[in-house]
A and B are shown apart, each in its own frame.
Chain A
Amino acid sequence: MINKIAASVAEALADVKDGATVLVGGFGTAGIPNELIDGLLAQGAKDLTVVNNNAGNGDAGLAALLKAGRVRKIICSFPRQADSHVFDALYRAGKLELELVPQGNLAERIRAAGAGIGAFFTPTGFGTELARNADGSPKETREINGRSYVLEYPIHGDLALIKAERGDRWGNLTYRMAARNFGPVMATAARRTVATVHEIQALGTLDPESIVTPGIFVSRIVKVDRVATQAGGFRKAA
């Protein structure tokens, strides 16, 4: 019998290793797996590479993980935010490596990892500073049918942490509105994917036409409470 339901966040994250590459879903206030990031902080793994669209804001969540010195490198598209002071200070002090990736290349590199693609040519970033490797050398380029492209490699995760809406014991997932963002892509690209859901449904009751992430991509699901607010809305921490 397949049962991917974990009793707790701690159980789902028990075996994260030092040095792991962790894909973390979320964009803005939507789709951030807050409980799993807190769980990673409690679990203790260090020397992590974190892949997220941003680099944490405020003092909680990803910012807390950074502040605790547990992250060696961050791969993201937009680290600078109004309240990204934890990242800013660590980056300026040279205590955190940054790989800045155009957002679509970030999504596609993750998608490529999940889809078994060895590398791909993309027009995004051609002729810019971001078409360079960390050592400053130019990335490989090629002209194809008169257009110029940059070679980009996949981003594989050891672990993906994502926020979904509903799930079942096979790990099938649905999402809610723009909280979907990186979740379905990251779920495919990691050796192990842990998702939070707000509802666990009996097997067979999720509409098969509505399942966005089939359970094959999911290792564990954990039910967490929805942070509800007034009618029609969810608080920032939802």
Chain B
Amino acid sequence: MSYPKRTKDQLAARVARDIHDGAYVNLGIGMPTLVANHLPADIEVVLHSENGILGMGPAPAEGTEDYDLINAGKQPVTLLPGGAFFHHADSFGMMRGGHLDICVLGAFQVSATGDLANWSTGEPGAIPAVGGAMDLAIGAKQTWVMMDLLTKQGESKVVARCGYPLTGIGCVKRIYTDLATLACTPRGLMLIDAIDGLGHAELERLVGLPIQTATDNHDAKDRP
């Protein structure tokens, strides 16, 4: 296999490229937070944090941390001009009510039709914890997943049917991975792009599922 995988930063940049000017966006804990570093400087994107912030800015300079101003991952952040604070019921109303344009989440598994598993591996004896994962998954206008395509053991995390406990059903629209970008549709996976050197047949072999390509009567901008 001679194709170079997208690094975490390249993957974050790939996600950032699809975020539009004026979007209200929630970036999940972990890898999705990297997307903020790659948003184009010439557009305005308003970041939402589930604990009650819109207009969230980057981490503060050392020594200026304020522990009343933290993100969902409980790390100190800043507030951009125009930012606002609100209580938890409003914050989750923004999600559930469909007011956020895009939510980017990590995942253990995503099914071809967009089922998401990202809150529990279902191990016996594990302490369950869900936080805002289920609200985020089903709330935004578009839920995108950002993850490595394969596990360390080489198994596809994009699956026909999730084996891990579900976070939401049919909620993921796109999967951005280190090898390819895929759309989840009711009819299964569609290819948006793959890294240079990774052919369609090899990608299907890695995922173990059929991946449709956009037909010629679809303009690129109309693709899912």
Contacts and interface: CB of A to CB of B under 8 A. Distances in A.
A232 B70 contact: no
A214 interface: no
Nearest to A111: B89
Interface residues of A, number: 56
B92 A108 contact: yes
Contacts of B92: 103-104, 107-108
A127 B168 contact: yes
Nearest to B137: A124
B66 A234 contact: yes
What band does the interface of chain B fall in when counting residues whose beta carbon is under 8 Å from A? 35 or more
Nearest to A28: B74
A29 B89 contact: no
Contact of B65 (A177, A212, A233): A233
Interface string B147-174: 0000000000000000001111100000
Contacts of A102: 130-135
Interface stretch (B12-20, B46-54, B101-109, B189-197): B46-54
Given A30-B70, A124-B135, A178-B70, A100 B129 contact: yes
Contacts of A176: 68
A124 B128 contact: no
A178 B134 contact: no
B22 interface: no
A181 B129 contact: no
Given A180-B86, A181-B51, A230-B63, A79 B129 contact: yes
**A103, A107, A130, A236 interface centre (most CB from chain B within 10 Å):** A103
Q: Per DSSP, are chain B's interface residues mostly helix, strand or loop, or mixed?
A: loop
A91 interface: yes
A33 interface: no
A234 B89 contact: no
Given A129-B165, A178-B51, A103 B87 contact: no
Contacts of B50: 103
B31 to A, nearest CB: 19
A34 interface: no
Given A88-B127, A127-B166, A177-B68, A104 B52 contact: no
Interface string A127-142: 1111000000000000
A124 B89 contact: no
B87 A180 contact: yes
B132 A103 contact: yes
A77 interface: yes
A200 B93 CA distance: 31
Interface string A65-88: 000000000000111100010011
B51 A30 contact: yes
B79 interface: yes
Contacts of A130: 130, 134
Interface stretch (A3-11, A39-47, A182-190, A215-223): A182-190
B125 interface: yes
B95 interface: yes
Given A30-B51, A108-B89, A177-B66, A78 B131 contact: yes
B45 to A, nearest CB: 19
Interface string B59-74: 0100111111110001
A183 B88 CA distance: 8
Nearest to B136: A104
21 contacts: A29-B68, A77-B132, A84-B127, A100-B129, A101-B130, A104-B96, A104-B132, A104-B135, A107-B92, A108-B93, A124-B96, A128-B165, A175-B85, A177-B79, A180-B87, A181-B52, A185-B89, A231-B64, A232-B60, A236-B67, A238-B67
Interface of B: 49-53, 60, 63-70, 74, 79, 85-89, 91-93, 95-96, 120, 125, 127-135, 138-139, 165-169
